[in-house]
Amino acid sequence: MKTLCTTTNPQPIYVSARTAMPTRCLLAIAFGFPMLLMPGCKKEETPAVEVTVQAGHPEQGAMSEHVTVDAILAPLAQAAIEPKITAPVRKFYVQRGARVKEGQLLATLENADLAAAALDNKGSFMAAEAAFATATKAQVPEDTQKAELDFAQAKANLDLNQSIVNSRKQLFSEGAIPGRDLDTAQAALVQAQAAYDSAAKHLESVRNVSREAALKAAQGQLSSAEGKLKGADAQVSYSEIHSPINGVITDRPLFAGETAAAGAPLLTVMDTSSLLAKAHLAQSVVQQMKLGDEAELQVPGIADPVPAKVSLISPALDPGSTTVEVWLKIDNKAGKLKVGTPVKASITGKTVAQALKVPASAVLTAQDGSKSVMLVGSDGAAHKKPVTVGIADGDDMQIVSGLAPTDTVITGGAYGLDDGTKVKVGPAEADDEAKPAGGKGGGAD
């Protein structure tokens, strides 16, 4: 019978049953002898990990919040001039790029037919004026005077016939005249009374109705003729294109002789003495802004930032994007800036006179949104400290509470650093730039 013994030799060694026990003992002595020679078996301790970080004390000083947003330059005022009539262009008085003033004549359209219609209406107006003068100064006064004279004559005739009747009644009662003469006088009195009543009625109607109606009719004819004349003159005026604002001609799509269609832009005038950078911001950001806030624009092709001011904050949200439109006004009297240029605007918002600030890379954000920083403690280890942040200004962030000016804040290398890790302050390693920024992760939890 053979027993298999395992050694460090990859080949198995077979021994007989008689020699199995002595062999095992020899092997045990062979492997255990070095252990007996050692003074004792001790487990090797792992050295403590020490991480190199960058750190510094918080700074104190004035700090302003800056909101950065993309915007497009737009003119202060713009007028796309559309003719109200369709007619060929007779002449242009300006070219594209010309500076114009409010009320300046820019172009004229063919208007011979309109001028003829205006002349016709002018003649009708003059005739209406003459008819009005005749009615008010001659016809109406004459009719009134005639009615008054007829009334006076009828009254006199009535009075005469009344006296005749009275005298004949006296004579008839005395028997001096026959009854036939009295009857004749009474009949004449009745006729005189009827003529008097008719004259009085006519005079009343002339004074209260006819005279007023005649004057209104004459005035109506005159007003109608005047309205037609003004309409014809307006049509003629539409053939002359004037600038409604001060500005620069930015578009002139037609040439002289081509037909300008009513409702289609013939000339475009823009006031570029000042420009507006129109941007859309979140409502929460706009709440801290006010009119007159300072801003700067980064314009492509211009090295220095261009100053601007907030000139308008929309009182209502945009229904599509639920953002607030903000206008920044920029002086452009030199004409260096062009309408339609995309720019990057930086608006100065809330300002804190004495702010405690740290680099934004030092602030860590947890998954629940809470903020914290890592401090270098007196024991040389990193310790997590919850903080409350305020406004942000580029690479700086305000610390409202949770931090003292004497604290040593880890500004670089805090990402993924566990609380209690031994640290030493030193320069950043070359590969640190490849690591994610400290304010992005929640690994510091």
Q: Are 410 and 376 in contact (CB under 8 A)?
A: yes
- Could you report the per-residue pLDDT of 88-99, keeping only the tens digit for each? 999 999 999 999
What is the predicted pLDDT for the residue at 30? 44
Q: Which residues contact 270 (CB under 8 A, 6 or more apart)?
A: 75, 77, 78, 79, 247, 248, 250, 339
Of the listed ranges 307-311, 320-324, 350-354, the one predicted with least confidence:
350-354
Can you tell me the mean pLDDT for 44-66? 77
Q: Could you tell me how many residues make up the chain? A: 445
Predicted confidence (pLDDT) at residue 260 exceeds the cutoff of 70: yes
**DSSP state letters, 52-66:** EEEEEPPEEEEEEEE
Q: How far apart are CA 385 and CA 91, in angstroms?
A: 77
Which carries the bigger pLDDT value, residue 287 or residue 386? Answer: 386
Can you tell me the mean pLDDT for 376-395? 85
Q: How far apart are CA 99 and CA 77, in angstroms?
A: 14
C-beta atoms surrounding 73 within 10 Å: 22
> Which neighbouring-strand residues pair with 357?
59, 398
Q: Which residues contact 331 (CB under 8 A, 6 or more apart)?
A: 273, 274, 307
Can you tell me the mean pLDDT for 410-433? 74
- Could you report the per-residue pLDDT of 265-302, keeping only the tens digit for each? 999 999 999 999 999 998 888 887 889 988 999 999 89
Q: How far apart are CA 135 and CA 138, in angstroms?
A: 6
What is the predicted pLDDT for the residue at 48? 60
Predicted confidence (pLDDT) at residue 19 exceeds the cutoff of 50: no
Q: What angle do CA 393, 397, 402 make, to 5 degrees?
A: 155
**What percentage of the chain reaches a pLDDT higher than 70?**
84
Q: Which residues contact 393 (CB under 8 A, 6 or more apart)?
A: 63, 64, 65, 66, 357
Q: Are 248 and 154 in contact (CB under 8 A)?
A: no
Q: How far apart are CA 203 and CA 214, in angstroms?
A: 15
For the chain, what is the radius of gyration of the CA atoms? 55
Please provide residue 210's backbone torsions phi and psi, each rounded to the nearest 5 degrees.
Answer: -60, -45
Predicted confidence (pLDDT) at residue 342 exceeds the cutoff of 90: yes
Predicted confidence (pLDDT) at residue 204 exceeds the cutoff of 90: no
Q: How far apart are CA 270 and CA 256, in angstroms?
A: 22
Q: Are 308 and 286 in contact (CB under 8 A)?
A: no
Categorize the per-residue pLDDT at 430 as very low, low, confident or very high, splitting at 50, 70 and 90. low
The mean of the pLDDT values for the chain is: 81
Nearest to 325, CA basis, from 312, 334, 337: 312
Give the best-scoring range by mean pLDDT among 180-189, 206-215, 336-345: 336-345
Can you tell me the mean pLDDT for 346-365? 85
Largest Cα span, the chain: 208
Query: Virtual CA dihedral for 334, 339, 342, 348, nearest 10 degrees?
Result: 60
**DSSP state letters, 62-128:** EEEEEEEEEEEEEEEEEEEE--SS-EEEEEE---TT-EE-TT-EEEEE--HHHHHHHHHHHHHHHHH
